[in-house]
A = this chain, B = another copy of it.
Amino acid sequence: MIVLTIVACVCLAQGQEPTKSIAERLGYPKDAKLLIVHADDLGMAHSVNVATIKAFETGLVNSGSIMVPCPWLSEIAAFARTNPQADLGLHLTLTSEWTALRWGPVSSKDRVTSLLDKDGYFRLTETEAAKNADPKQVEMEITAQIEKARALGIQPTHLDSHMGTLYQNKELFEVFLRVARSNKLPVRVARAWFTRADFLPSVLRPDDVYIDRTLDINPSVAPNEWGKFYSDEIRKLEPGVTEVIIHLAHDDAEMQGATSDHPNWGAAWRQRDFDFFTSDSFRKLLQENNIKLITWKELGKLIK
């Protein structure tokens, strides 16, 4: 609470207006229900790329982020080059969580040793990654991922962090934010997270662009409750900017192989997300609840 007061003082000291809601800054009424339907993990696998591109074509999934270190980056980069209107950010990656399919850094390995496991891949979990990561090496690696994406013709509209590694502690988040600001890109941060990551308000500046809340499904939802969970959440969507974070792929041999020992966020999970978010019932829900889809590209335009 003290922290928030300080932020407000800084804001007024710089002669700015008291902070408007993000919806208002975008030019919408304060009570507008604005939604980004965002697919993570592009580049991870062919199945992910194909399903996400197909979902983009419906217009119902309207944003996504790319894992630069992953084997199928080139395929999604080709899509980005021929679809410059697509709202594609970078899913900055410091973990390699599957056991059959693995990846490592864009940087030279000997310069980012703190990020690697004994086999030279990124570590399996975000907690291990954050515990061992040297912030300078993190900055080098995420900068390298942004540079590589740009070299391949991707013009990222936003940044987020695969498995949330860059939100694991204040030091990593400061690196993340510094890199994002120097690239004039918005990062996935939600006001609703301030209670569970109390360092966030102290690090953010009033001119940073962040949204109100994120929404994602979790392993406690039974497969046959998938549509009900999302439908209920969409019906009770609050005004402001919400990002629903989804994971798309087909339940095919490749994804089953990649995720065989890890059903959460696995092949069937991703197929269920695909089925719901490309469905007519999702389209109707958006209409019936007066929900407007917006993109990170629009949010990024607020950055000066």
A106 at the interface (CB under 8 A from B): yes
Query: In the complex, A102 Cα to B72 Cα: how many Å?
Result: 7
- How many positions in chain A have a CB within 8 Å of any CB in the partner chain? 35
- Complex Cα spacing A74 to B118, Å: 13
Q: Does A207 contact B (CB under 8 A)?
A: no
Which of B108, B110, B253 sits near A250, CB closer than 8 Å? B253
Q: Which of B49, B100, B119 contacts A75 (CB 8 A)?
A: B100
Pairwise interchain contact A50-B253, C-beta atoms closer than 8 A? yes
B118-A99 in contact (CB<8A): no
Whether A47 sits at the interface, judged by CB under 8 Å, is yes
A151 within 8 A of B: yes
Residues of B contacting A152 in the complex (Cβ-Cβ under 8 angstroms): 119
Whole-angstrom CA separation of A73 from B78 in the bound complex: 25
Contact of A103 among B71, B148, B253 (CB under 8 A): B71
A101 touches B74 (CB 8 A): yes
A149 CB to nearest B CB, Å: 11
A 248-264 contacts with B by CB, 8 A:
250, 252-254, 257-258
Q: How far is the CA of A71 from the CA of B73 in the complex (A)?
A: 12
